[in-house]
């Protein structure tokens, strides 16, 4: 299969909204193919620094002799702990580009693709926890049904849960393609349903809402007062996750949300539904949680 390279989204918008100090310290919590890290380094002065993380242990960070860059494998769920272990404090900005990269999504062996047969795994970090199939094996219909709903599946949740359970329990050698075919059959907009089911299953397999909530909770402790937290989402489920995560984040203010330009969408359809959420740390706990508005 052809390896699909990831194309970073809203690079200029990330730089424009994150960079407030060319000598500052910036954290890229989701390195992926390194597009945002590279762009940030390109705009920083000699004293600026970028520390990049990605939880996927198979990601190879770009080899660089640039003393301003450092990288390591870590889940942003433990960002504060990882930074304090390295005695890194007072960041000027953090960027988190949520979900999976195109390279991961199109690698059938990771089980994230609904177009190619692969194991029902779906972990972006295969060294942690268990493949999704194992978890589904131990799950009852009611739990899977409510879990799909919690992770934003918009289709016929009960029917989908029942088909997925049957497929996973039926035989050892079922693949992602069997799950895709079963979820496709549940709706006239078949492929759309399969994509939505896979997104929900990926969110389950990687505890996406829990990781994001954790990042948002830790951000004020990691950032300087006035420092920025940028979160890039790709669909309405991602937007809802951000909204729910910042609801009680009293030390963060939502400054703006930024959509991609038409030009970017025309050249990269993958950017179509993306949205950049720009938050600022007040440094002071406020009584009122930030108001969420869409552009």
Structure-token pair, residue 34:
């390194």
Residue 292 CA to residue 84 CA, distance in Å, equals 31
Other CB atoms within 10 A of residue 75 CB: 20
The residue (of 99 and 118) whose beta carbon lies closer to ligand SAM is: 99
Residues of this chain, 210-269, that bind ligand SAM according to CB under 6 A: 211
**283-294 burial string, b = 16+ CB within 10 Å, else e?**
eeeeeeebeeee
Among 24, 26, 35, 153, binds ligand SAM (CB under 6 A): 35
Among 10, 41, 51, 55, binds ligand SAM (CB under 6 A): 55
Residue 217 CA to residue 104 CA, distance in Å, equals 27
Residue 215 CA to residue 187 CA, distance in Å, equals 35
Among 24, 25, 36, 241, binds ligand SAM (CB under 6 A): 36
Q: Which stretch binds ligand SAM (CB under 6 A): 28-36, 189-197, 248-256, 262-270?
A: 28-36
Q: Which stretch binds ligand SAM (CB under 6 A): 49-57, 105-113, 150-158, 174-182?
A: 49-57
> Which SS3 state, helix, strand or coil, does residue 155 take?
coil
Cα 247 to chain centroid distance, Å, stands at 19
Binding mask 65-104 for ligand SAM (x = CB under 6 A): ----------xxx-------------------x-xxx---
Q: Which residues bind ligand SAM (CB under 6 A)?
A: 6, 8, 29-30, 32-36, 53-56, 59, 75-77, 97, 99-101, 124, 206, 211
């Amino acid at each position: 299969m052809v390896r699909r390279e990831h194309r970073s989204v809203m690079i200029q918008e990330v730089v424009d909204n994150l960079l407030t100090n060319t000598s500052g310290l910036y954290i890229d919590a989701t390195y992926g193919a390194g597009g945002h890290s590279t762009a940030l380094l390109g705009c920083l002065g000699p004293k600026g620094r970028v520390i990049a993380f990605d939880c996927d242990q198979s990601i190879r960070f770009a080899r660089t002799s640039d003393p301003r860059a450092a990288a390591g494998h870590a889940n942003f769920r433990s960002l504060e702990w990882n930074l304090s272990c390295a005695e890194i404090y007072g960041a000027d900005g953090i960027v988190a580009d949520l979900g999976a990269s195109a390279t991961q999504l199109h690698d059938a062996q990771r089980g994230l693709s609904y177009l190619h047969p692969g194991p029902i795994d779906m972990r972006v970090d295969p060294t942690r926890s268990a493949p999704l199939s194992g978890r589904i094996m131990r799950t009852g219909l009611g739990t899977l049904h409510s879990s799909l709903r919690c992770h934003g599946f918009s289709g016929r949740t009960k029917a989908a849960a029942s088909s997925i359970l049957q497929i996973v329990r039926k035989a050892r050698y079922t693949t992602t393609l069997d799950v895709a075919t079963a979820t496709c059959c549940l709706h006239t907009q078949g492929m759309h349903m399969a994509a939505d089911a896979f997104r929900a299953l990926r969110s389950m397999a990687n505890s996406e809402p829990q990781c994001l909530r954790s990042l948002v909770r830790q951000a004020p402790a990691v950032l300087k007062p006035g420092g920025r937290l940028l979160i890039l989402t790709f669909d309405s489920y991602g937007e809802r996750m951000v909204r729910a995560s910042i609801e009680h984040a009293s030390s963060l203010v939502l400054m703006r949300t930024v959509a991609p330009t038409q030009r970017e969408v025309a050249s990269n359809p993958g950017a179509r539904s993306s949205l950049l959420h720009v938050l600022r740390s007040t440094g002071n706990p406020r009584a009122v949680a930030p108001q969420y508005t869409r552009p």
